[in-house]
Structure 1
Amino acid sequence: MNPTASPRHPALLQQLRGSLVVSCQARPGEPLYGPEFMAAMARSAVLGGAGAIRVNEPQDITAVRQAVDVPVIGLWKDGEEGVYITPTLAHALTVAEAGADIVALDATIRPRRDRRTLAQTIGAIHDAGALVMADIATLEEGLAAAAAGADMISTTLSGYTPQSPRQSGPDLGLVAELAEATDTPVFAEGRYSTPAQAAQALLLGAHAVVVGGAITRPTDITSHFAAALGSSRLPREAAQ
């Protein structure tokens, strides 16, 4: 156990072992944006077997916390560039106060906006009674987050930073490397689009798997089907 971990640390992590975490998020301007929609999405995910919910923004965290009885992983996306996933301690504490059991934050090597170290931020979140999920992009960042006291490591940002390789599918290699290199639970996250990929992540040592868009973003899911159908029509139309 990490020396600064919350007293709930062992039981909560055991509860999440082997589970599916569903990320319920919508962007401003999308039809499903808003607390009531995210709460309904979370309830649907739990009915389908989700062991935890990952959710963005304080108002949505509070609504989801009231709607489900599984652990809630909260974050706060502020901006679109650099460190924008729970970028400061103030963001993190607000996420915890909104009802998150676990606070997810950017734990890459990029400097945090408030210039606090990762260890300082994690310690303060633990003092507030929440656990910490460190979103990382590389093996080195994952090991550094574990050393800083993170309760769990998630591969969320692999492929989205200059330090990590771009790839179309999930970074299963990073999951395997982290699971081999650290005892801190590894959560597989990022571009998981099929049940087979999620199952493979568990076989490679992931503690749990986080899936978002493949389950909870109907606009994106629909666009993939529509694009595939459009592509299948092209040869026939060209032949006419």
Structure 2
Amino acid sequence: MTGTAIDTKAGILKALQDGLIVSVQPIDGGAMDRDEVVVAMASAAVDGGAQGLRIEGANRLAAVRAALPNTPIVGLVKRDFEEWPLRITALMEDVHALAKAGADIIAIDGTDRPRPHSFAELAKAAHDHGCLVMADLSTEQEADNCLRDGADIIGTTMSGYTGEAPTPEEPDFPLLEAVAKKGGFVIAEGRFSTPDLCRAAIERGADCVTVGSALTRLEIMTQLFSNAVAAARKDHRP
């Protein structure tokens, strides 16, 4: 299986320019963690104006690709390792599987952490399949390293998720602004949970914005509304 009908890397990036990618990744084991639900949510996102999708897992990506043959898809595989702290597309076999499933872009952990394969090795494998490479990273130095080692796209995905400090509530705009000056294609990702934040990302140099939980993790968003109602009840009722 191949990617979209867009037959050039430049064409894929042009299709995503100044657009929205919706990350359709339900909570593991949750009520929506089913292939048919993911395909339905992905289709709804495209109907609503999304220019691209971010899909986890090769089999699930293949199901979405079959339903949406002309939509650019960023593919990734998440795994939990005992030996290594990273999770996003760390194994060569996962790069091959995502490419065969129809990914246009393969997201690879671009952080400076111990890993089974180097970023450069994984990026080369993705390129050999004709896929673009997105580096999910957390620092400006990591952006320099990944651009050197084959990244076509820089994503601010991992900012706030690599240390022991609490994850910030707001996106990392300083990182976004710094990597936007480096000349590559930049996807703002990580806690862009409102339309205003997405607008601000484009204004600060992003080429594209990814939104995930705010659109596709119903449990998380429902809990926020539920907590607000509960707090109001507690504060304003005798």
TM-score with structure 1 setting the length: 0.91
1:165, distance to aligned residue in structure 2 (A)? 8.3
Q: How many residues align?
A: 229
CA distances 1:66-96 after superposition (whole Å, capped 9, x unpaired): 1112101100001177111111111111111
2:109 corresponds to 1:106: yes
Contact 2:109–2:119 (CA under 8 A) maintained in structure 1: no
Q: Give the distance between the partners of 2:58 and 2:124, measured in 1 at CA.
A: 21
> 2:189: which partner in 1?
189
Contact 1:87 1:106 (8 Å CA) reproduced: yes
CA–CA distance in structure 1, aligned partners of residues 190 and 36 of structure 2? 25
C-alpha change, 1:194 and 1:211, in structure 2 (3 Å) is: same
Aligned to 1:89: 92
Q: Residues 194-233 of structure 1 correspond to what in structure 2 (within 5 A)?
A: 194-233=194-233
Distance in 1, Cα, partners of 2:125 & 2:91: 11
**Residue 34 (str. 1) matches residue 37 (str. 2):** no
Q: Which amino acid aligns with 2:161?
A: Y
The aligned counterpart of 2:171 is: 170
Hey, what does 2:60 align to over in structure 1?
60
The answer for unaligned runs of 5 or more in structure 1 is 1-6
Q: Paired residue for 1:17?
A: 17
Distance in 2 (CA, whole Å) between partners of 1:33 and 1:105 is 22
On the 8 A contact 1:137/1:163 being kept in 2, the answer is: no
| Displacement after TM superposition at 1:28 (Å) | 2.9
Q: Which residue of 2 is the match for residue 72 of structure 1?
A: 73
8 Å contact from structure 2 (residues 53, 74) kept in 1: yes
TM-fit CA distance, 1:187: 0.4
SS at match of 2:135: strand
**1:14 CA drift (Å):** 1.2
List gaps (5 residues or longer) in structure 2.
1-6
TM-score, normalisation: structure 2: 0.92
Residues in 2 aligned to 1:222 and 1:141: alpha-carbon distance in whole angstroms: 35
Give SS of 2:229's match. Answer: helix
Does residue 152 (structure 1) correspond to residue 138 (structure 2)? The answer is no
Could you give the per-residue CA deviations for residues 91-125 of structure 1, whole angstroms, max 9, x where no partner exists?
A: 11111111111111101001222xx3211221111
Asked if 2 retains the 8 angstrom alpha-carbon contact of 1:158 and 1:165, the reply is no
CA drift at 1:163: 9.1
Judge which range, 150-159 or 104-113, deviates more. 104-113
Residues of 1 paired with 2:115 and 2:161: CA distance? 16
Query: Does the CA-based 8 Å contact 1:54-1:74 persist in structure 2?
Result: yes
CA distance in 2, matches of 1:187, 1:217: 20
Cα deviation code 1:205-229 (max 9, x no counterpart) = 1010000011111111111000001
Shift of residue 30, structure 1, vs aligned partner: 0.5
